[in-house]
Amino acid sequence: MENDEYRVMHDLEKSYWWFVGKQYLVRTHLTRLNIENLQQPAILDIGAGTGIILKILERFGKAFGTELSFEAIRFLKERQLNLIVRSDANQNLPFRNESFSVITCLDVLEHLDKDYGLLKEMFRVCRPGGYVLITVPSFQAFWSPHDTALHHKRRYTRSHILPYVKELRFKVLKASYYNMILSIPIWTIRRIKSLFPQTEHPQSDFFISLPGALNRALTLLFAAEIYGLRFLNYPFGVSLLLILQKTDNTGDEGRTR
């Protein structure tokens, strides 16, 4: 990711509808999993970015983060987040087997050359019965300069990623697309942007300035949809959510709900 993307992320993530919604998603689903009731929960956030999610995770237990970018680490230190390990997610995670009861990997896999390698590493460092929460961008039809600016390698579908997590003996607790309601407007805007010549350094959609009233409306709409994820699986959307549980039962093929 370009350094200026980290700056924009840091400046917007407390107010911009997309970042606020992702924070709500994490809080909602970790609360539903009763993380607070685990004995001495240790939590890992892979690709901690500028740290807003890691600050949320601290409420649930002792939270560690990994990050490769020095620019992102600078913002993490500004937020007084000190349990940070500089690590390349393309390589082995620098932690012992079964170290964490909860792992979050939010919009990271799409940046990697070998995403399956990180999935295997998450299984290795997750404790039996522990949880893994993953988000990734979905459907190649949404590909645009936004993905180029963020250095994405691919976008995902359920049918692409589920065989890998089941092969690793993860039990699939949730596998749903989200950001469904806004998917058509987002697709339209990205198609229009793709018609124009791209600059030498493409910029993500986060550089698009939104009027305050529109941003608040989008925040409420996105939050309502994320609330619905507690009960529903959406058939399509701009992103994909996976909630997994580690099991050593080789006969468990995993079930979605």
What is the per-residue pLDDT across 86-129, written as a single tens digit (0 to 9) for each? 999 999 999 999 999 999 999 999 999 989 999 999 999 999 99
For position 136, which CATH number holds? 3.40.50.150
- Residues of the chain with pLDDT > 70, as a percent, come to 94
The answer, as to whether pTM is greater than 0.85, is: yes
β-sheet with 170-178: strand ranges across: 84-86, 62-67, 42-46, 100-106, 126-137, 239-246, 170-178
Supply the pLDDT for residue 189.
83
**Are 222 and 21 a contacting pair, CB within 8 Å?**
yes
30 is a domain residue: yes
Structurally, the chain folds into a number of domains equal to: 1
Q: At what angle do helices 212-228 and 17-32 cross, to 10 degrees?
A: 20
CA 251 to CA 68: how far, in whole Å?
37
Residue count (the chain): 257
239 is a domain residue: yes
**Are 41 and 127 a contacting pair, CB within 8 Å?**
no
Residues 6+ apart with CB under 8 A from 255: 171, 172
130 is a domain residue: yes
> pLDDT tens digits for 28-48?
999 999 887 777 789 999 999
Instruction: Supply the range of the domain harboring residue 174.
Output: 3-246
253 is a domain residue: no
257 is a domain residue: no
* Overall average pLDDT of the 163-185 stretch: 94
